[in-house]
Amino acid sequence: MDKIEPTLKRQLNKDENVPYPDFENMWNRMEEAGHTSVAVDSTPASVSTRRHRSWRRIAMAASLSALLAAAPVYAAIHYDWGNVLRDKGGLQAVLDQNMGQPLGQTISKDGVKLTLRTAIVDENRTVILYNLDVGKRADTEFWDLKGMSLKDEHGKNSEGEFSYLQWDEKNQKYNGYFESDWSPKQDTAKVRLTADILQLYSQQEVDLQLDSSSEKAQSFQIGKDGMQKIEVKAFKQGADKILFSSAIIFDQVEAKTWAYPMITPVVQGKTLHALSGSTYGQPNDNGDYTTQQYFKSSDLPAGQTTYKLQYTKVEKNIDGPWAFDLQLSKKQMESGTIKTALDLPLEPGDDNHIIEKMVVTPTQIRVAVRSKVKGFADIPYKKMALEVNGRTLEGGLFRSPKDDPYLMNYKFELPSDLVITKETPITFVGKYKVTTHEDDKTPVLLTDISTKKQTLDRAVGGYPVQWTYYMRGNDLYVETGSEDAHFGGINQTHINLGKDRILGRPVTVNFAGDGNNKAIDVYKDFKQTEASLYMFYYTTDEPDKETRVQLQP
């Protein structure tokens, strides 16, 4: 069995800065803008971004590090954290310069020992590095520390928290990483680091007699480990791509938070992994856990491919709270911190997107951009970088403050050998421009709706777009897409206008600027043979377009 743990690690480590949309908030904003209807399902959707994905943070992993040695203070700073600090050279440089704050606190429960080693606190964030010693561990098992959070003296949780564990094969223990946006208002502050529960998981799998060539919905009973069944629908996506859209029905609600089920094809004993753009965990109308997994069709030869449902199962709980009282200081990092107030347009003539602030610390650069466009905050450029004294630092949007949703923060990790002063040239570079268009209000008329697939060619914004529609069971499916890569896609369709409007439920979850303009909407229990189909908006892509803004000197 190909381990699910590395699969989950890949999903986590692609980018821990991927934004996780607040769908309830997005839906509220959509209602305010008049884009919802009580006549249909309450599908969260964004007013100004295309089909933002909903996914759960998957926080289990496996890999690397070395042994604690010598004096406690020295060991806390000079520990080899291995891949825990991958792509975070600035943090490693701080540790190498003895600028981390040693903690050395330990809690032991049921034979498991959690030890906080080092804190790194600056104007941008707080990072805490720790070890988890669980003793002997089977290859098919892994641990996860759930609900890790930093609380201030009033018990309020900090924002921007995430954490993960990585297995150190050599020393047979986990190395842990916790990060929060919290930073002391003064030089020092008292806080409490807590975790709700420590859980031991095992890797499980169930055989699925899945037929990837069938256009019918396929259902498979699971009947174990909190899962009742899985329903799968296969959709061809172009010449060599297939989408498995799945809904997993749970009869144990809490299992949704740890099972992370996914379809895994096996060809000649080798497990294949889903392509980039696959998503996990978005609830459907019934609250079921859904996945959208893409594969290359040519990688799944008929008669040679078997399918499994892989998932995780909780084997043991060690209840918390795991709590540490800490006094953290950012004083060591202040000498290398530069805070700059800015008022710069993202590009010439753009009054809707303003770069407001840059904060440079010894470990990281953060740039804040404010959007004045009402709706779900976004900027038109999807790939961000900083050019710093001739070097390029890749970065991206990680989240907006809860109390200021139109302020977007971009973070850029510093390499270990890069030192920045007020004279260091820094340029903000945005690439791959995506533009939203709301000018097409002409409906597409669907006629003779039946189980037969029918395709219409109708241009949108001057781009050729194919509209394919058909019935599957009682549901109407509408697929849209274009062979022109500069067409970004249609965000969401609806049938009729006003009080009679019915929203299409997105089957696919696309990303603005991902190069995929194919989308599928479904209309549940559709009973008509004709329909007037409208769109909210469409996007166009300019992959080569870029903007450059000098931030300093």
pLDDT of res. 87: 86
pLDDT above 80: residue 141: yes
pTM: 0.79
pLDDT of res. 79: 62
Residues with Cβ within 8 Å of 256's Cβ and at least 6 positions away in sequence, in order, are 226, 250, 289
Does residue 217 sit in helix, strand or coil? coil
Secondary structure, 3-state, 469-521 = EEEECCEEEEEEECCCCCEEEECCEEECCHHHCEECEECCCCCCCCCCCCEEE
Which of 244-248, 306-310, 415-419 has the lowest average pLDDT? 415-419
- Quick check: 256 and 262 in contact, CB under 8 A? no
pLDDT, greater one: 304 or 78: 304
The rounded distance, in Å, linking the Cα atoms of 237 and 256 is 28
First-to-final CA distance of the chain: 55
Cβ burial 340-366 (10 Å sphere, 16+ → b, else e) = eebebebbeeeeebbbebbbbbbbbbb
pLDDT of res. 536: 93
Q: Domain 67-202+319-328 falls in which CATH fold?
A: Immunoglobulin-like (2.60.40)
pLDDT of res. 432: 95
Span 86-106, pLDDT tens digits? 889 999 999 988 889 999 999
The rounded distance, in Å, linking the Cα atoms of 221 and 209 is 11
Percent over 90 (pLDDT), the chain: 62
- Quick check: 83 and 166 in contact, CB under 8 A? yes
Tokens read off for 7: 């699969």
Which of 1-5, 425-429, 538-542 has the lowest average pLDDT? 1-5
Tokens read off for 265: 């094809």
Number of other residues whose CB lies within 10 A of the CB of residue 331: 12
> CATH topology of 67-202+319-328 equal to that of 337-430?
yes
- Residue from 318, 262, 298 nearest 10 by CA: 262
Residues with Cβ within 8 Å of 492's Cβ and at least 6 positions away in sequence, in order, are 45, 51, 503, 504, 506, 521, 535, 536
Residues with Cβ within 8 Å of 386's Cβ and at least 6 positions away in sequence, in order, are 365, 367, 392, 393, 395, 412, 426, 427, 428, 429, 551
Quote the distance between the C-alpha of residue 502 and its chain's center. Answer: 29
pLDDT above 50: residue 115: yes
Alpha-carbon separation of residue 180 from 68, 98, 160, 269, 387 (angstroms): 25, 21, 5, 41, 26
Residue 514, by phi and psi: left (phi above 0), alpha (psi -120 to 50) or beta?
alpha
Instruction: Out of 1.10.10, 2.60.40, 2.30.30, 1.10.3470, select the CATH number for domain 337-430.
Output: 2.60.40
**Where are the chain's structural domains?**
67-202+319-328, 213-301, 337-430, 444-544
Secondary structure, 3-state, 418-439 = CCCCCCCCEEEEEEEEEEEECC
Span 365-384, pLDDT tens digits? 999 999 998 877 788 999 99
Cβ burial 207-244 (10 Å sphere, 16+ → b, else e) = ebebebeeeeebebebeebbbeebbbbbbebeeebbbb
Tell me the mean pLDDT in the region 248-270: 93
Q: Is the dihedral of CA 366, 369, 374, 378 positive or negative?
A: negative
Number of other residues whose CB lies within 10 A of the CB of residue 453: 12
User: Which residue is listed with tokens 């699925």?
Assistant: 208
The rounded distance, in Å, linking the Cα atoms of 194 and 152 is 11
Tell me the mean pLDDT in the region 437-446: 93
The rounded distance, in Å, linking the Cα atoms of 362 and 415 is 10
Mean pLDDT of the chain: 83
The rounded distance, in Å, linking the Cα atoms of 366 and 384 is 12
Burial group, residue 164, by CB count within 10 angstroms (0-12, 13-18, 19+): buried
Burial group, residue 542, by CB count within 10 angstroms (0-12, 13-18, 19+): middle
Alpha-carbon separation of residue 286 from 99, 247, 283, 459, 501 (angstroms): 51, 10, 7, 35, 21
pLDDT of res. 50: 34
pLDDT of res. 400: 67
Tokens read off for 97: 């310069």
pLDDT above 50: residue 131: yes
Quote the distance between the C-alpha of residue 315 and its chain's center. Answer: 27
The rounded distance, in Å, linking the Cα atoms of 255 and 336 is 46
- DSSP annotation string for 69-121: -SSHHHHHHS---GGGGTT-HHHHHHHHTT-SEEEEEEEEETTEEEEEEEEEE
Tell me how long the chain is: 553
pLDDT of res. 304: 92
Does residue 331 sit in helix, strand or coil? helix
Residues with Cβ within 8 Å of 186's Cβ and at least 6 positions away in sequence, in order, are none
Which of 45-54, 125-134, 456-465 has the lowest average pLDDT? 45-54
Residue 291: phi and psi, rounded to 5, are -135, 150
The rounded distance, in Å, linking the Cα atoms of 508 and 472 is 16
Tell me the mean pLDDT in the region 53-59: 30
pLDDT of res. 375: 75
